């Protein structure tokens, strides 16, 4: 449910903003766009460890069930938005935060519940199926979003958005099912709530992720916001607070973030590999979507308003690859250990990033499909065995905390990846897009003065326009676009607002940015593979405890009768 909702929002953003009468590409509204995109992920990343710890203390099923309720309430409120304009956008952002709270409850305890329910020799298979469900949910969300994006239901003065309402019956059924079917079977651990740890972690991580969110927005005369004093304060201050958090947690008897687990080699290396993998892959989906929607699909005759749905179909090979390899690698790794599959999977992912570097910007689709299929294969080979290694390596009464820690690492890595990748892409565009825009516009008869003004606009608007399925030239020409077009010959007019003008214009600059992005992603994946390789032998905590108990018993001297 949570992954369906996330991808529905991505593909439905243009319709959502139309419903509240806001242009998301207006510089004054870019913050709304970013917070609707990133707010859910930020809240989930910050709270997932807290709810994992609460699950250890009070019952994982109890927190999981509550997550269904909270998520459903958030979905209902999002569907029935009574406001418009900036107030309507704030309503959406606040209730996306509420959904994030429910999502954190679900994410933090689902893995722990599965681990409790299955023996060590079947956990990889079970977790593989669980992650396949999440991936399938993302693709289903793209399809549902594409079909329902422009459908609304009028109730009095309310415009009810079906894209949000579709989660409500799923949430209600899930709530009833979880309360009826799920029962506590895992161990719990008594202890006090670590309020200092929770506060420091929330402040530190929220500061970092918020700074990253604003870092990709223009600031002053710069095309990016990394020189913004508030962004720098958030980055430095957040890092300092997180360092303090580590020392506070080491001194706690019942910490929220159990640092002592990092003494377990299998756990520590699996977490590091997971973080690096999330940084390498987290922003990939957005880069590929922009590539498809901003360049490839328009060049192949797809209207801009149809590109979001078609991009979802074009990326289906990633999902298929993951669906094939996820359960299979999880099942086999239960017998042979996670190291072989997880490490090989990361190397396969790195190889696909290298192939994406050399792929032409206007590729033949079967080449793209084959590369992304193997990217999904590699991701599936890594995901289930690595998550099983994390859960197998910790004591039973810490599984909620471990699951929450893994979720936080994954979500934080994804947020960091999006910030890094967008920044690298925008930096690449900033160096070559102005010249390309100027020469392309003047070649069509646009005056030098107008072409100069347009070429100096921040490239982030063009990137987001492509991401949302708008013709970026409408954004670049701005409110005076019609007046500009009226002064041009009809042929030039049609060329400027046609499907192919902008893609041809930016393809070279965009490819330069993509090369940098995919080099960084490949490097992260290779480093993650090294971390995975040195994780040590297959380690299962409960089996290790049994073996040590047997060894101690055998070492005891036999008493004389």
Residue 255 has a pLDDT of: 80
Residue 557 has a pLDDT of: 54
Q: Is there a contact between 326 and 135 (Cβ–Cβ < 8 Å)? A: yes
Q: Report the percentage of the chain scoring pLDDT > 70.
A: 84
- Architecture per CATH, 2-186+252-429+508-540: Up-down Bundle (1.20)
Per DSSP, what are the bridge partners of residue 222? 219
Section 209-216 average pLDDT: 81
Section 302-329 average pLDDT: 85
Confidence class of residue 276 from pLDDT cuts 50, 70 and 90?
A: very high
Section 425-433 average pLDDT: 78
Of 34-43, 231-240, 268-277, the least confident? 34-43
Residue 552 has a pLDDT of: 44
Each residue's pLDDT tens digit, 14-35: 777 877 888 777 767 778 888 8
Q: Is there a contact between 363 and 371 (Cβ–Cβ < 8 Å)? A: no
Where do we find the tokens 């070649």? 443
Residue 319 corresponds to which tokens in the numbers above?
């999902």
Each residue's pLDDT tens digit, 100-152: 999 889 888 887 787 777 776 676 677 767 777 776 676 677 667 666 666 65
Residue 128 corresponds to which tokens in the numbers above?
């593989």
Each residue's pLDDT tens digit, 159-207: 666 777 777 887 888 888 888 887 777 656 666 777 888 888 889 888 9
Residue 222 has a pLDDT of: 77
From CA 66, how far away is CA 106, in angstroms rounded?
A: 8
Using alpha carbons only, give the angle 53, 56, 60 rounded to the nearest 5 degrees: 105
Residue 230 corresponds to which tokens in the numbers above?
């508030």
Q: Sheet holding 80-81: strands in order across?
A: 80-81, 158-161, 152-155
Give the helix ranges, DSSP H, for 118-228. 123-148, 162-165, 167-181, 195-215
Task: Judge whether residue 363 has pLDDT over 90.
Answer: yes
Residue 240 has a pLDDT of: 95
Of 317-326, 339-348, 520-529, the least confident? 317-326
How large is the greatest C-alpha to C-alpha distance in the chain, in angstroms? Answer: 110
Residue 94 has a pLDDT of: 94
CB atoms within 10 A of CB 286: 19
Those residues with Cβ within 8 angstroms of residue 175's Cβ, 6 or more apart along the chain or in another chain: 65, 68, 69, 72
Residue 10 has a pLDDT of: 72
In 3D space, the residue among 198, 413, 163 whose CA is nearest the CA of residue 284 turns out to be 413
From CA 131, how far away is CA 382, in angstroms rounded?
A: 11
Residue 171 has a pLDDT of: 80
As to burial, measured by CB atoms within 10 angstroms (0-12 exposed, 13-18 middle, 19+ buried), residue 380 is buried
Mean pLDDT for the chain overall: 80
As to burial, measured by CB atoms within 10 angstroms (0-12 exposed, 13-18 middle, 19+ buried), residue 490 is exposed
Task: Judge whether residue 550 has pLDDT over 60.
Answer: no
Section 292-315 average pLDDT: 84
Section 408-432 average pLDDT: 81
Section 531-547 average pLDDT: 67
Task: Judge whether residue 560 has pLDDT over 90.
Answer: no
Residue 545 has a pLDDT of: 46
Residue 546 has a pLDDT of: 40
Each residue's pLDDT tens digit, 446-485: 888 888 887 877 777 777 776 777 777 766 665 555 566 6
Q: Is there a contact between 111 and 49 (Cβ–Cβ < 8 Å)? A: no
Q: Is there a contact between 319 and 138 (Cβ–Cβ < 8 Å)? A: yes
If one compares 527 and 410, the residue with the highest pLDDT of the two is 527
If one compares 505 and 157, the residue with the highest pLDDT of the two is 505
Residue 375 has a pLDDT of: 95
């Amino acid at each position: 449910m949570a992954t369906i909702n996330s991808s529905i929002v991505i593909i439905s953003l243009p319709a959502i903003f139309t419903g509240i009468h806001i242009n998301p590409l207006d510089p004054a509204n870019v913050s709304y766009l970013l917070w609707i995109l990133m707010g859910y992920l930020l809240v989930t990343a910050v709270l997932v460890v807290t709810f994992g710890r609460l699950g250890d203390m009070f019952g994982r099923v109890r927190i999981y069930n509550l997550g269904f309720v909270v998520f459903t309430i958030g979905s209902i409120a999002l569907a029935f938005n009574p406001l418009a304009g900036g107030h309507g956008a704030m309503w959406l952002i606040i209730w996306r935060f509420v959904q994030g709270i429910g999502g954190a409850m679900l994410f933090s305890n689902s893995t722990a519940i599965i681990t409790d329910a299955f023996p060590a020799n079947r956990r990889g298979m079970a977790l593989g199926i669980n992650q396949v469900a999440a991936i399938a949910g993302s693709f289903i969300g793209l399809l549902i979003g594409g079909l329902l994006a422009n459908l609304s239901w009028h109730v009095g003065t309310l415009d009810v958005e079906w894209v949000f309402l579709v989660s409500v019956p799923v949430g209600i059924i899930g709530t009833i099912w979880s309360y009826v079917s799920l029962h506590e079977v895992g161990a719990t651990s008594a202890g006090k709530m670590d309020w200092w740890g929770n506060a420091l972690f929330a402040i530190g991580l929220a500061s970092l992720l918020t700074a990253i969110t604003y870092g990709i927005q223009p600031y002053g005369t710069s095309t990016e916001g990394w020189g913004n004093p508030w962004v720098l304060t958030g980055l430095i201050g957040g890092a300092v607070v997180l360092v303090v958090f580590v020392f506070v947690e080491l001194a706690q008897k019942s910490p929220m973030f159990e640092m002592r687990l990092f003494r377990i080699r299998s756990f520590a290396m699996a977490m590091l590999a997971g973080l690096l993998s999330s940084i390498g892959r987290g922003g990939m989906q957005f880069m590929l979507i922009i590539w498809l929607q901003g360049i490839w699909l328009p060049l192949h005759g797809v209207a801009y308003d149809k590109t979001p749905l078609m991009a979802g179909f074009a990326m289906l090979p990633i999902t298929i690859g993951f669906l094939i390899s996820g359960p299979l690698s999880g099942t086999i790794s239960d017998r042979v250990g996670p190291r072989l599959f997880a490490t090989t999977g990361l190397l396969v992912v790195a190889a696909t990033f290298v192939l994406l570097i050399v792929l032409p910007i206007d590729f033949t689709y079967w080449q793209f499909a084959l590369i992304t299929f193997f990217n999904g294969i590699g991701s599936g080979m890594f995901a289930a065995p690595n998550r099983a290694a994390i859960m197998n390596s910790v004591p039973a009464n810490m599984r909620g905390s471990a699951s929450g820690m893994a979720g936080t690492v994954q979500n934080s890595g994804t947020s960091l990846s999006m910030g890094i990748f967008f920044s690298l892409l925008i930096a690449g565009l900033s160096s070559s897009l102005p010249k390309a825009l100027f020469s392309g516009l003047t070649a069509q008869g646009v005056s030098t003065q107008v072409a100069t003004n347009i070429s100096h606009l921040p490239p982030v608007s063009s990137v987001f326009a492509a991401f949302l399925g708008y013709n970026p030239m409408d954004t670049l020409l701005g409110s005076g676009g019609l007046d500009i077009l009226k002064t041009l010959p009809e042929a030039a007019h049609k060329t400027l607002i046609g499907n192919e003008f902008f893609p041809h214009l930016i393809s070279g600059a965009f490819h330069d940015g993509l090369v940098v992005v995919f080099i960084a992603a490949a490097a992260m994946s290779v480093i993650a593979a090294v971390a995975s390789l040195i994780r040590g032998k297959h380690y299962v905590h409960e089996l290790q405890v049994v073996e040590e108990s047997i060894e101690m018993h055998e070492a005891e001297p036999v008493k004389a009768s």
